[in-house]
Amino acid sequence: MTSSHTLPLPDGRRLTAETGSGGLRLSIDGRPLLSAACEPVEGGFVLAPDLVGERPAPLPVDAAWAAACWLFTGDPACRRLVWRGIEPDPASLRSGLLLADGGGGGISRRDAFWQLPGPWLRDPGTTGYPAIAREDGVHLHRPPKPAGELYRRFDPALGLWISLRSLDIDADLERFNRWQNNPRVLAFWQEGGDFLQHRAYLEGLAEDPHVLTLIGCFDDEPFAYFEAYWAKEDRIAPFCAPGDHDRGIHMLVGEEHHRGPHKVRSWLSALVHWMFLDDARTGRVVSEPRADNARMIGHMQSLGFLREWEFDFPHKRAALMTLDRRDFFDRCPGLSEPSTTAAAHENSYV
């Protein structure tokens, strides 16, 4: 019995998989990409594209990417794809999407796939920006801040798009003011005030090169406010010995109907994923929630953050939370989820 399932992609295309009798056929917007035998093995799948004659089957980069996207998104236990009888596209080898095995095949690894920026990263990112020391010889000049949508990914576990965009002061001031004056948010952020105070707060951050203000959206509905900062220029620096490109986050969920651990898992993994994609030199993401904010700390620990120690800011007792780049991509929490999809070959994303 053959079944057909579809996964929406951020650029508007649709990745379709047909499965059945040990085979996998993939297409994007009706354009065939791959037809292959697909058999489960410990830790992943063995894929053998259909042969034409005696020669190894050409494996175009878009076919290798589509297979990795489909199988790694849908099965958290899938860590590798073992390709047999292929002639890989050199672009797949240069990008790390495919690793040559020396025996006429190749391996696609989950931790490598999720570090590739497209199509989730919606702007070029900052990796190419040179490391230029400032006059003090310690800190770096930071790249210009991006505008518009920065990240988008369909979350099959929720059936929703999760996206991040830059904050627009004129468009977002009212919701920022409402969120900051919410008693639940106010208890931790302590940034209540009127429109003039909040405009001044946001304008100050807009002029600060080390902080980027973001709005999180589910299905394009704004629900959260985030601050992503370069840790070396932040007040947290003396407490975490940051690398030149380590980043930190401040987070609040403003809309009550988007609270809950399942939503946190989605948006926190997206936020961290974006920071690691935005600059491949970022080795850690750090955060300093209030030490008594047990709920947020628990959410962070469930995604792999470590609670290192506590320290004192003038306004709060903080817990240092850290997430290592390698640990994040080794686990891919929130990116590879058990859902009605590929590995089980029974149900569809949408």
Q: DSSP per residue over 82-114, as a string?
A: EE-SEEE-HHHHHHTSSEE-SSS-EEEEHHHHT
Mean pLDDT by 10 residues, the chain (350 residues): 89 94 94 95 95 81 97 94 94 96 88 96 93 89 96 95 98 98 94 98 97 98 98 95 97 96 96 98 97 94 96 92 97 76 38
Q: Where are the alpha helices (DSSP H) in the chain?
A: 61-74, 90-95, 110-113, 169-180, 183-189, 195-206, 237-240, 261-278, 294-302, 325-331
The pLDDT tens digits for 79-133 are 999 999 999 999 999 999 999 987 778 999 999 999 999 899 999 999 999 999 9
Nearest alpha carbon to residue 275 among 296, 248, 235, 293: 248
| Contacts with 265 (C-beta within 8 Å, 6 or more apart), sequence order | 157, 299, 302, 303, 333, 334
Burial tier of 66 (Cβ tally within 10 Å: 0-12, 13-18, 19+): buried
Enter the pTM of the model.
Answer: 0.94
Residue 288 is a catalytic residue: yes
User: What pLDDT was estimated at residue 348?
Assistant: 37
> Cα(140)–Cα(197) distance, rounded to whole angstroms?
30
Burial class (CB in 10 A: 0-12, 13-18, 19+), 139: middle
pLDDT digits 0-9 by tens, 199-237: 999 999 999 999 999 999 999 999 999 999 999 999 999
Nearest alpha carbon to residue 121 among 286, 251, 285, 10: 10
Predicted pLDDT at 20: 87
Q: Residue 196: exposed, middle, or buried by beta-carbon count in 10 A (0-12, 13-18, 19+)?
A: exposed
Token pair in block for residue 75: 């099965």
> Exactly one of 39, 288, 308, 346 is catalytic; which is it?
288
What is the pLDDT, as a whole number, of residue 290? 94
Residue 53 has a pLDDT of 67
